[in-house]
Structure 1
Amino acid sequence: MPDSPGTPPERVILKLGGSVITDKSADCAINRAGLETLATAIAGARHDGIVIIHGAGSCGHPEAKRYHLDKGASAGKTEGVYMTHRAVSGLNEAVVVALRSKGVAAIGVHPLHAAAADNGRLIGFEHRHLETMLALGMVPVIHGDVVMDLSRGACIVSGDQLVRYLAAALQISRVGLATDVPGVLDGGHVVPEITRQTMPTLHIGDSKHTDVTGGMRGKIDELLALADAGTESEIFHVSRVRDFLAGAATGGTRVRGK
């Protein structure tokens, strides 16, 4: 629903899946036509109080796998940190440029520069500068990235981990995940709602493309933890981005708490 006059806009996170901004069947093939459509939809809706987080898609996952970042990094073996960050940063720049071309005050924010992890999990993200950006009407655009890990040297922090962490840190009201499917599918049908109680009954397939961050099951695990903390989320088709930003129904899957 629109915000009342004189009240600050609600804050939302819009997560753009890597599959909708890249071609996952090729190494770092950016879907520029898809980005153009997305940027138009975002620019045509409200864009105050929005944080955009995007996945890496085919940019970053192949590099992370090639350099075995799942096992971390060690002295003298850090090339994978640079190569993976370079790939995802390039994709982030393409997203920012597309948004800015439509009048959205987007600016890229790189987790490598602001976050820390331990044993593969995000444990900190400096977010005070994000508060200032939002207050100035800017739209931070954050991405899945390689970050330094206290135990492993380095690890990949997915966009979904970032969603969970920043939703709490920034007091986000609503979270929406735009994907290349209309929601979470079970037997070809959209599951309207997922809770911890219903999750064990679902049959959810994993991505057939290279994904080092857990695919759909990893995504839902993060969102269930987010719901446990009090913030519900929706997974929907990318064509419904404008509906989500307007607070309208998306026809997707809602992930709820207990």
Structure 2
Amino acid sequence: MPELIILKLGGSVITDKSKKCSVNEERISALSREISQRKDIFPVIIHGAGSCGHPEAKEHHLDKGLDQTNRAGIFITHRAVKRLNNAVVNALRASGVESVGIHPLDACTAKNGRLISFECRPLELLIKNGVVPVLHGDVVMDEDRGACIVSGDQLVSYLACAIHAERIGLATDVPGVLKDGRVIPVITSASARSLEINESGNTDVTGGMRGKINELLMLAENGIESSIFHVSRTGDFLDGRDHGGTVVTSERS
């Protein structure tokens, strides 16, 4: 049986975050070819919103919740992330990977910004039948706030447990978590407390690198290890080789 993995493609990797909804078609195609060449893995793909979603969510203040003045932001933000999702799915299919987009707005609910439900059965059946699900950061209805933004990183931490993924990797535009310009090879809950992590300078309503670390530390507490690496090392991660990045793990590992 192929190894079930979660591969998260950062929004900064597949879009130009300095330009509104600027899709990096070349990068997405290259990553799709990398994925298509591996027959001993089965990937669940999750991607960030990048410049297709963050600016729209910020403009309509969806990071602050929903009221009578910003309801149109649900459609506008979701439309932007769907455009990016379609680009990823189309590139995967062009490379021979049978895949389909799954939209969190349709499948999830949240409470105070955190996922509390995800209808995973369709996802499980897609995997069982050899169809690669492609999910993304999205606007999601929220019991407390009306609506909120759920990041791709939060989807990673939620789904890794739900579908029993064997490996989790996050492809980013940096070689890992950096301290004084050098990659930190391992992060645990204890070591994370002393880290000072700078946030993205571009529009990001989901917490940037700090958000990633927080989500992955929750996974580590459940005994699930994950990796952050530069997108150029995606092939190394897929093959199970050293990727030169950061491993987030539990104190016990």
If the length of structure 2 is used for normalisation, what is the TM-score? 0.97
Q: Quick one: distance in 2 between partners of 1:79 and 1:170?
A: 33
5 Å-filtered alignment, 1:140-155, equals: 140-155=133-148
Counterpart for residue 24 of structure 2:
31
Identify unmatched segments of 5+ residues in structure 1.
1-7
Match of 1:136 among 129, 137, 141: 129
Task: Provide Cα deviations, 1:134-188, integer angstroms capped at 9, x if missing partner.
Answer: 1111110000000000111100000000000000100111100000111111111
Q: Is the 8 A contact 1:48 1:138 kept in 2?
A: no
Q: Quick one: distance in 1 between partners of 2:174 and 2:118?
A: 30
Give yes or no for the alignment of 1:99 onto 2:64.
Answer: no
Task: Provide Cα deviations, 1:4-49, integer angstroms capped at 9, x if missing partner.
Answer: xxxx222110000000100000000001111111111111123643
Give yes or no for the alignment of 1:245 onto 2:238.
Answer: yes
Percent identity, aligned pairs only, is: 60
Give yes or no for the alignment of 1:180 onto 2:162.
Answer: no
Secondary structure (helix, strand or coil) at the match of 1:91 reads helix
Q: Quick one: distance in 2 between partners of 1:77 and 1:28?
A: 20
Q: Is the 8 A contact 1:46 1:246 kept in 2?
A: no
Identify unmatched segments of 5+ residues in structure 2.
none
Secondary structure (helix, strand or coil) at the match of 1:11 reads strand
How many pairs are equivalent? 251
Task: Provide Cα deviations, 1:34-69, integer angstroms capped at 9, x if missing partner.
Answer: 111111111112364310000000110001000000
5 Å-filtered alignment, 1:34-73, equals: 34-46=27-39, 48-73=41-66
Q: Which runs of 4 or more aligned residues in structure 1 lie more than 4 Å from their structure 2 counterparts after TM superposition? A: none
Q: Quick one: distance in 2 between partners of 1:204 and 1:99?
A: 33
Secondary structure (helix, strand or coil) at the match of 1:154 reads strand
Q: Is the 8 A contact 2:8 2:45 kept in 1?
A: yes
Secondary structure (helix, strand or coil) at the match of 2:81 reads helix
Q: Quick one: distance in 2 between partners of 1:156 and 1:203?
A: 24
Q: Quick one: distance in 1 between partners of 2:35 and 2:201?
A: 29
Q: Give the alignment's Cα RMSD to 1 decimal.
A: 1.1
Give yes or no for the alignment of 1:18 onto 2:6.
Answer: no
